[in-house]
């Protein structure tokens, strides 16, 4: 299983968060840096991957309610896609 660690301290803007997601998880060229596209790309992950988002409190401080939306998307998709597991750490 591949482990991906994403640092909430580095997610200063919505754009930087999407860039981190895309690069770390090797999203397709169809990824459009929005919530719907994030959901679709996570749902289509085909090999086992464990995503750890560390410093979630910093992510929340930087992105506000968007951090909560990202968290919901990751958690919801991890229930739908058995290839994806996700944890959030402060």
Residues 6+ apart with CB under 8 A from 26: none
* Residue of 74, 70, 86, 1 whose CA lies nearest to 43: 74
**pLDDT value for 20:** 98
Reported as a pLDDT band with limits 50, 70 and 90, residue 56 is: very high
**pLDDT above 90: percentage of residues in the chain:** 100
pLDDT in tens, 14-48: 999 999 999 999 999 999 999 999 999 999 999 99
Other CB atoms within a 10 A radius of the CB of residue 10 amount to 15
Residue 30, SS3 per DSSP: coil
Highest CATH level, class, for 2-88: alpha beta
Please provide the average confidence, as pLDDT, over all residues in the chain: 98
Residue 47: what pLDDT?
A: 98
């Amino acid at each position: 299983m591949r482990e991906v660690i994403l640092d909430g301290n580095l997610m200063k803007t919505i754009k930087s968060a999407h860039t981190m997601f895309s690069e770390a998880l090797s999203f397709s060229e169809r990824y459009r840096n929005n919530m719907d596209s994030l959901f679709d790309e996570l749902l289509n992950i085909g090999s086992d991957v464990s995503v750890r988002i560390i410093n979630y409190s910093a992510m929340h401080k930087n992105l506000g309610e968007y951090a909560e939306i990202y968290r919901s998307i990751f958690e919801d998709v991890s229930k739908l896609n058995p290839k994806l597991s996700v944890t959030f750490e402060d």
